Structure 1
């Protein structure tokens, strides 16, 4: 089931920096053009936070599970 709320784990490090794309301040969610919060941060913000290319792909699909746990 898809939820319109931001995916908190996707924002873990991104909330520490401002977004150069949508202009969200540190601690605020990224926003779409209509002002609604984005589910995941802008790519530019992830890059600025150092959350990209850590040797493994990012998977923002839902539901998030750990192996062996539904």
Structure 2
């Protein structure tokens, strides 16, 4: 059976059957392989929290736009 055929069958399963299949497959993955998967590098994620420089730039852009619209 090809992977495409298998995926079509899996898509037809109920949610609970999909969960059972997932648990069965996950139990067959050796711990060493799981360590490789979950010990990947960490990647920084930017957040607007405490981004005062960006806020200042936006405020300046708003002020510039207000000045330009009053002159027009």
TMscore range, shorter length: under 0.3
State the structure with more CA Rg. 2
Q: Which has the higher contact order (CA 8 A, sep 6+)?
A: 1
Structure richer in helix, relative to its length:
2
Give the TM-score, by structure 1 length: 0.24
Give the TM-score, by structure 2 length: 0.24
